Structure formats: C-alpha cells, structure tokens
Amino acid sequence: MTEKSNPRQIVLDTNFLLIPAQFGVDIFSEIDRVCAFRHKIAVMEGTLKELEHLAAMGTAPEKREARLAQGLVRSYRPKVIPMEGMDVDAALLELPPEEAIVATQDQALKRKLMERGIPLLVLRKEKHLELIGQ
C-alpha cells in the first residue's frame, strides 16, 4: 500500500470492543503495533446500538464491559459506517476486502470473512492481536 493511498479501515465488531474490559488488552495500542500501515478505526452503526443494548439490558458484567467500550468509542471517535437495514454481521461481510480489515472474536463470522477474503484482526492468547489474511 503506498503512502498516497487511502488509509485501510479497521472495523471493530462489538465483541472486539469488549476485549479491554474482559482481558485488559489495550486494543488501540495493539492495533497500532500490528498494523504498520495507514489505517483508520471504524465501527458499524449497529455496533453502537448493540453496546447501548448491552449497557442497558445486559447482566451486571456485560453492562460494565459495554460501558467501558462506550467510553473507548467516545474517546477514540471512530468513523461510524451506516448499515442500511442490515444486521452487523451481514454489513461486515459486504465490506470490500481491499479496503477493510474486520476485528472480531466471533468464530462463525471469522470463517465467513475468511471465505470472502476479508482480512481479520483477532486476539491471541488473551494478550495480543494478530492480523490474518493480509
């Protein structure tokens, strides 16, 4: 990827935003470490709604995790991608592989993304991130 090209979008799934609360991993520092190219953090519009739902209706631990994730979103101000009536997973599967990397821990979604050639960012050993399919 050349310097003049657009930054690659790293789209964070809901479960990925819960990693800091669940495992104490600074996902944003890890993204910068692993992705040594121009990138921009993004989330799907539905991800924000899922976090709101968890913060309001989840179990006590889910509420705490979701609120921490909401705070991170407010601090880092990612680009919000509209979804046009799709659910989050369907919208993630529609992303162009050459423009986006999806950060998720959802096993079924990871399989589908890999089948479509969309690169993944995943947590390994509950400590660090790894880029797959780049």
Sequence spans of domains, the chain: 8-132
3-class SS of residue 103: strand
3-class SS of residue 15: helix
8-132 under CATH 3.40.50.1010, yes or no? yes
User: Going by C-beta distance under 8 Å and a sequence separation of 6 or more, which residues neighbour residue 128?
Assistant: 25, 30, 34
pLDDT at 1 (0 to 100): 45
**Are β-strands 128-132 and 120-124 bridged in parallel, bridged antiparallel, or unpaired?**
antiparallel
Q: Say how far apart CA 64 and CA 55 lie, in whole Å.
A: 7
Q: Would you give per-residue pLDDT tens digits along the chain (134 residues)?
A: 444 578 999 999 999 999 999 999 999 999 999 998 999 999 999 999 999 999 999 999 999 999 999 999 999 999 999 988 889 999 999 999 889 999 999 999 999 999 999 999 999 998 899 999 87
Q: How large is the greatest C-alpha to C-alpha distance in the chain, in angstroms?
A: 46
pLDDT at 4 (0 to 100): 59
3-class SS of residue 88: helix
